[in-house]
Structure 1
Amino acid sequence: MEKTIHSIKEKIEKGEAQIFTAQQIKKMLRNGEKISIDDVDIITTATCGIMSGTAAIMHFKVAEPGKFKKAKKVYLNGVPAFPGPCPNENLGLIDLILYGTSKSIENPDYGGGFLLKDILKRKEIEVIIKADNKTIKTGLTLDEIKTAKIIGTRMAYKNYMAFVNPGKEPIPSIFNPIPMEGSFKGLSFSGCGELNPIQNDPKMRTIKATSPILLNGALGMIIGEGTRSTPEKPNLMIAANIHEMDPYYLGGFKTAAGPEIFNTIAIPIPILNKEILNNILIMNHQIPLPVADIRDRSIIDQTNYEVAWTGDERPSYHPQRCADCEKCLVAERCPTFAFKNGLNPRKCFGCGMCANSCPNNVFEMKTGKVTLHLDGESIEVPIVCRQSDIKRAKKLAKELKYRIESCEFPIR
């Protein structure tokens, strides 16, 4: 039996479509339920994690016409962007491209991801333009930015990798908030496992160019395959309107090698035939997670996402245990600045860094361990950092399910 998009859309309009989140489907499978093509019409998948290939394209007014001829440099809250490509000569306007990984010239821990979250929260942003041997300063909010779109050049990988440091010296890297300690002291990883969109449609039968998606809560579109995409490791190029995004799903992530950016993406998969159905039945224990040497990214062993995602999604917080240390390691290391005189749950990413840093166990969180087998020896390595957030992914998948059921999201 095969279905068509048209028949599924008719069922949605009648309120008869069987729509599930990926989380619901996996729970059914764990409970021993059998799932047939008649049982499900659409599943909503999602992922959240560091996505370095994030850029924003913006256009806004800086000054009155004639104030400057052409912008040479531009800074937003100290974060450099790139003027152009349109020159807007003598118009007092600017087009720019902002990298999500750009770093502030004033604060090395602040970058494009943190800036975009501040813009989405409608905070006033300081704009500095260098043009015609003059400096122009102004402030603006999102409502004054007429065009604001995110273009993701490389997003939603079909899961990713884990990293360890087999050497002796700490290694600064984008894959950990602090320099990764040597001698296998800790492991960091990315990927939402069985919830991941492409993992549930590995041959991309339904996930393809022009498919509608949610990017940070905004209706967006897949442009095509992203940079460095291969049949073995596919990823997507995606675009969406910043004005429609929810700041909860996007933000900065501080690493030992500079600020990064995280995004959250949800994609529906219509179940049109048995091949697509069989693909969505994949579970975490069936999904390999390669473990690489952080020094050169060479693969040294392999685990799976069942091992990686065993544990808590968020830390438990025990403020009464706080010893008011002169130097708070949690505040210093938290990659999303979620801890400052208390834990901000909206900012928390569930990475586990707090629980692996506080000497007084103010934060407790089970993040699990991975056993590596190297040269005939077994090495147990604690997971010290998650660079993907399964909680945000689950939330956006649920939101997408609701929008489809409410006929607020196009299926095509």
Structure 2
Amino acid sequence: MTQRTLAEINAKIQAKQAVVWTVAELKVRVKEWGTARCTRTVDVITTGTFEPMEASGAMLNLGQTDPPIKLQRCWLDGVPAYTGFGAVDVVIGASQICEEEGTERGGGHVIAALIAGDTVTLKALGQSTDCYPRTTLETRIRKDTINQFYLYNPRNLYQNFIVGVNGGDRTLYTYLGPLLPQLGNAVYACTGALSPLLNDPDLRCVGIGTKVFLGGGVGYIAWEGTQHFPLQKRLPNRVPIGPAATVALIGDAQQMQSRWVRGCFFKHYGSSLYLGVGVPFPVLDEQVITACAVQDKDIVVPVMDFAIPRRVRPSFGLVSYAQLKSGRITINGTQVRTAPLASIAWSMEVAEILKSWIEQGEFTLTEPVAPLPTERVFLAQDGLE
């Protein structure tokens, strides 16, 4: 049985001798060669996704003014930012919307604009103190006129998700986009068998400290993500049947590329952030290959009716990603058109770029400093009785 260490793989990467496949390439070759030969051959498998990730945000340090200011309220291009971390530290969330009426713009657009090198207006009110006497600030900032500018995303890379449909009689505007009445469409967000964590169902290859492709630059898994739910029900192949594990990601936004970080707006819902994320898996043993060989037909996802406004919505059952990617699914005898929010082509390109970085010796792998929890329960919030 083939066994490798991360140190051995990194030595091959640094010598530009590592064999690297994207997960799409692996899925083809494992059918031809089998898992044993693939395990002997490949050193690293790269995965990628490009999809909206609204649980993302950015931390900015503006630098101090003269006279000094302690920010109390702040707006970036009209989008409220949070100021409660220090005198001139600002946090902006991707899903925070602009306060200017009729503006389809939010925090995701501000983050994307800064990464692109654009200028953003800043307006702020200060709390007057003896050490921070200034009370107002209006200026314009760019990423090269501020100190720290990094993404901190508390929930990315959902390990599976849901399919949204609408069994009601009017169009619903949701975080999946418009859902047409009377089962007029079905929308899904996950890339299925290409999705990073669906190829590592038991989180053997990733952990706190894992280095990743984040927005065209380098990032790291900082912690478990919010709503991390590894105890989700699973198929015999260990793939979850609904939303399961998540990760929190962090990375230097100064090094990111505007192509892979894009603001977006869902009509009558709000703003979000399209983000490219790629995760490399070291092939330490055959189990890694077995997990990454999973196919779209072997991964199922629940179809949820958004016409019922409850935390636990009625389900029309489970469908496979092979069915979703065919363009139509059948619900109660009705053919329903399907559409992905994620870009399959761009997700594959993320994996290809990460593959090239590793092949060129520019990106080595990191040993997690701690595992992600595998026993975390999911708690609901119903308020005080």
TM-score bracket, normalised by the shorter chain, equals 0.7 to 0.9
The Cα offsets for residues 244-303 of structure 1, whole Å up to 9 and x where unpaired, read as: 111111122211311122211101001111211210110111111211111343322221
In the alignment, the residues of structure 1 paired with residue 287 and residue 348 of structure 2 have an alpha-carbon distance, to the nearest angstrom, of 24
1:123 corresponds in structure 2 to: 118
Letter aligned with residue 63 of structure 2: K
1:277 corresponds in structure 2 to: 289
In the alignment, the residues of structure 2 paired with residue 62 and residue 74 of structure 1 have an alpha-carbon distance, to the nearest angstrom, of 14
Q: Which of 218, 227, 246 is the equivalent residue of 1:235?
A: 246
Correspondence list, 1:5-404, <5 A: 5-29=6-30, 32-36=32-36, 37-61=39-63, 63-66=65-68, 68=69, 70-86=70-86, 88=87, 94-106=88-100, 107-132=102-127, 135-176=136-177, 178=178, 180-231=179-230, 232=232, 233-256=244-267, 257-294=269-306, 295=308, 296=310, 297-310=313-326, 368-372=327-331, 374=332, 378-383=333-338, 385-404=339-358
| TM-score, normalised via structure 1 length | 0.79
In the alignment, the residues of structure 2 paired with residue 150 and residue 409 of structure 1 have an alpha-carbon distance, to the nearest angstrom, of 20
Identity of aligned residues (%): 23
In the alignment, the residues of structure 1 paired with residue 47 and residue 305 of structure 2 have an alpha-carbon distance, to the nearest angstrom, of 30
- Indicate conservation of the 8 Å contact 1:158/1:234, yes or no: yes
In the alignment, the residues of structure 1 paired with residue 340 and residue 265 of structure 2 have an alpha-carbon distance, to the nearest angstrom, of 13
2:362 corresponds in structure 1 to: 408
What SS does the corresponding residue of 2:12 show, helix, strand or coil?
helix
In the alignment, the residues of structure 1 paired with residue 248 and residue 264 of structure 2 have an alpha-carbon distance, to the nearest angstrom, of 21
* Structure 1: gaps of 5 or more residues: 89-93, 311-367
| TM-score, normalised via structure 2 length | 0.84
Question: Are the structure 2 counterparts of residues 14 and 138 from structure 1 closer, same or farther at C-alpha, using a change threshold of 3 Å?
Answer: closer
Question: Are the structure 2 counterparts of residues 29 and 277 from structure 1 closer, same or farther at C-alpha, using a change threshold of 3 Å?
Answer: closer
In the alignment, the residues of structure 1 paired with residue 27 and residue 287 of structure 2 have an alpha-carbon distance, to the nearest angstrom, of 17
How far 1:62 moved relative to its partner?
6.3
The Cα offsets for residues 165-195 of structure 1, whole Å up to 9 and x where unpaired, read as: 011122221111x3x2210011111101111
In the alignment, the residues of structure 1 paired with residue 196 and residue 204 of structure 2 have an alpha-carbon distance, to the nearest angstrom, of 12
How far 1:101 moved relative to its partner?
0.3
What SS does the corresponding residue of 1:146 show, helix, strand or coil?
coil
Letter aligned with residue 160 of structure 2: N
Greater relative CO (CA pairs within 8 A, separation 6+): 2
Superposed CA RMSD in Å reads 1.7
Question: Are the structure 2 counterparts of residues 235 and 132 from structure 1 closer, same or farther at C-alpha, using a change threshold of 3 Å?
Answer: closer
Question: Are the structure 2 counterparts of residues 298 and 240 from structure 1 closer, same or farther at C-alpha, using a change threshold of 3 Å?
Answer: farther
In the alignment, the residues of structure 2 paired with residue 72 and residue 14 of structure 1 have an alpha-carbon distance, to the nearest angstrom, of 51
- The total of aligned residue pairs comes to 339
How far 1:29 moved relative to its partner?
4.5
What SS does the corresponding residue of 1:401 show, helix, strand or coil?
helix
The Cα offsets for residues 60-103 of structure 1, whole Å up to 9 and x where unpaired, read as: 1363234x4x22211111111011311x3xxxxx1111111000
In the alignment, the residues of structure 2 paired with residue 304 and residue 264 of structure 1 have an alpha-carbon distance, to the nearest angstrom, of 24
Letter aligned with residue 117 of structure 1: A
What SS does the corresponding residue of 1:205 show, helix, strand or coil?
coil
- Indicate conservation of the 8 Å contact 2:35/2:286, yes or no: no
In the alignment, the residues of structure 2 paired with residue 267 and residue 78 of structure 1 have an alpha-carbon distance, to the nearest angstrom, of 34
